[in-house]
């Protein structure tokens, strides 16, 4: 069977994967022949990391203008789509709010986006979805393909990365959509040895794929005035973005490299973990060099959210001091909200919810707009309020940088607990994933992976 050769570009995407769904059961996403990828309209599809082919209906959303005034409100349709093709001309922000009607499901989530960053059909993969909502969902795409693998790579372990992975085990993967498929080969210690890139359109369902691992890892030198907490290497092939976890040791790192194209990121936190620096750089001639941005300081005035049930905290302001004099930025704000209630949860199920809120917008006068929560969300005097907050600001202010933040790059440190002394207070970041349609060209898509950036973050525990 002919295998199409796909050019590889390495970059970075960090995506936190964590779920606290308290309900049992593993629903099966539907197969109802709903539109294939090329027919998807300009929309934001609400889905989940656990079932990425599952569109969640009935999710509330609101559209705001530049001043933060409400233009229209509605709910995602039966396929989980929030249609963007006929919005008012002055639409600026889109905010969704997911909540289950199941009183035992305690995790809700919300996000606010600049509408301009949703330049094609995209889906947001929520961390926590009620199993009852998943069981009733409609398929976003109609492809469900299972592939098995024969390991002839010389390594002891194989790992797979593709779009819309429904499930996988040691030698089999089930996909919800056609996609590039990256297979990496590792030794017994988990060290990356080889990689191979396939196109799933070259195979039929139930086909067996032989992995020979055509690209051998190369040793890259890391030069940085700042030490690395964590290093991630990323393949990117339209529309695939796939991270390969590995550690930098003694200023070197093993990574699969093709045509000297590689990118890597270093994430650095201060001693007290209340500030974090992030960078991405291209590798040139087996070497990666990072900037010294340790003099960056982010002074943030976080929203207050106290016991009186004030759920309209709608602005975060900041001042970035350091090596740049640029005054326009894009940012990612995240918080974790507890509606409160303590021992009264059983008496009133509207309390005792955890709400994870994320915002991806450009700054206006060094502030970010935060959409208010629905007015019917109640806060109990006992413990109600924001329990953790974080902000990351990038030195670029273009749409591509917003997409980079919304896809998880440079921001899933929040989900890993930066600034949260109590791990139960860590934040959640739901990635925004572009879907493989032609509304955004391959070149436009890959621009988000080919630009270096510096970013700085601050976190606060209430």
Sign of the Cα torsion 411, 417, 420, 423 reads positive
Q: List phi, psi (to 5°) of 131.
A: -55, -30
The angle, 0 to 180 degrees and rounded to 10, between the axes of the packed helices 399-406 and 442-450 is 80
> 423 near 364, Cβ under 8 Å?
no
* Residue at token pair 């550690």: 247
Q: What band does 325 get if pLDDT is binned at 50, 70 and 90?
A: low
What is the pLDDT at residue 386? 86
Q: How far apart are CA 160 and CA 211, in angstroms?
A: 11
What is the pLDDT at residue 208? 95
CA 240 to chain centre: 13
The mean per-residue pLDDT over the stretch 420-425 comes to 75
Burial per residue of 256-278, b for 16 or more beta-carbon CB atoms within 10 angstroms, e otherwise: bbbeebbbbbbbbbeeebebbbb
The mean per-residue pLDDT over the stretch 425-453 comes to 69
Q: How far apart are CA 396 and CA 377, in angstroms?
A: 35
- List for the chain the helix, strand, coil content (%; round to 5): 10, 40, 50
> 361 near 114, Cβ under 8 Å?
yes
Burial class (CB in 10 A: 0-12, 13-18, 19+), 460: middle
What is the pLDDT at residue 100? 93
pLDDT digits (tens, 9 = 90+) for 110-135: 999 999 888 677 889 998 999 999 88
pLDDT digits (tens, 9 = 90+) for 7-21: 222 222 222 223 323
**What is the average pLDDT score of the chain?**
77
pLDDT digits (tens, 9 = 90+) for 361-395: 998 888 899 998 888 887 877 778 888 889 999 87
């Amino acid at each position: 069977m002919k295998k199409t050769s796909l050019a590889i570009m390495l970059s970075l995407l960090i995506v936190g994967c964590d779920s606290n769904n308290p309900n049992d059961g593993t629903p099966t996403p539907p197969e109802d022949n709903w539109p294939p990828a090329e027919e998807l309209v300009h929309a934001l599809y609400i889905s989940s990391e656990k079932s990425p082919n599952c569109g969640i209906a009935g999710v509330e959303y609101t559209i705001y203008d530049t001043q933060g005034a409400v233009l229209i409100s509605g709910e995602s349709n039966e396929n989980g789509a929030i249609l963007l093709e006929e919005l008012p001309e002055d639409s600026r922000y889109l905010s969704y709010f997911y909540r289950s009607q199941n009183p035992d499901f305690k995790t809700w989530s919300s996000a606010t986006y600049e509408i301009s960053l949703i330049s094609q059909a995209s889906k947001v993969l929520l961390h926590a979805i009620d199993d009852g909502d998943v069981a009733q969902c409609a398929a976003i795409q109609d492809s469900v393909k299972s592939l098995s693998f024969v390991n002839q790579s010389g390594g002891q372990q194989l790992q797979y990365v593709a779009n819309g992975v429904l499930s996988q085990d040691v030698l089999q993967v089930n996909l919800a959509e056609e996609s590039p498929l990256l297979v990496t080969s590792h030794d017994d210690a988990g060290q990356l040895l080889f990689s191979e890139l396939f196109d799933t359109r070259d195979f039929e369902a139930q086909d067996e794929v032989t992995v020979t691992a055509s690209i051998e890892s190369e040793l890259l030198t890391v030069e940085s005035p700042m030490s690395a907490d964590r290093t991630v290497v990323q393949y990117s092939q339209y529309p695939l973005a796939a991270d390969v976890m590995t550690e930098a040791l003694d200023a070197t790192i093993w990574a699969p490299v093709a045509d000297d194209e590689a990118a890597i990121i270093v994430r650095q936190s201060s001693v007290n973990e209340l500030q974090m620096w992030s960078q991405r750089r291209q590798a040139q001639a087996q070497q990666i060099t990072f900037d010294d941005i340790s003099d960056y300081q982010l002074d943030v005035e976080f929203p207050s959210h106290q016991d009186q049930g004030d759920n309209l905290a709608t602005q975060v302001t900041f001042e970035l001091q350091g090596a740049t004099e640029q005054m326009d930025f894009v940012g990612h704000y995240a918080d974790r909200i507890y509606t409160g209630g303590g021992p009264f949860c059983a008496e009133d199920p509207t309390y005792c919810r955890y709400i994870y809120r994320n915002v991806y917008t450009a700054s206006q006068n060094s502030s970010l707009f935060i959409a208010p929560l629905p007015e019917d969300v109640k806060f109990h005097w006992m413990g109600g309020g924001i329990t953790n907050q974080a902000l990351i600001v990038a030195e670029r202010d273009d749409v591509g940088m917003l997409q980079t933040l919304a896809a998880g790059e440079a921001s899933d440190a929040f989900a890993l607990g930066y600034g949260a002394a109590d791990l139960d207070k860590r934040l959640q970041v739901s990635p925004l994933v572009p879907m493989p349609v032609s509304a955004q060209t391959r070149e436009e898509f890959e621009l988000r992976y080919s630009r270096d950036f510096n970013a700085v973050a601050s976190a606060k525990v209430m």
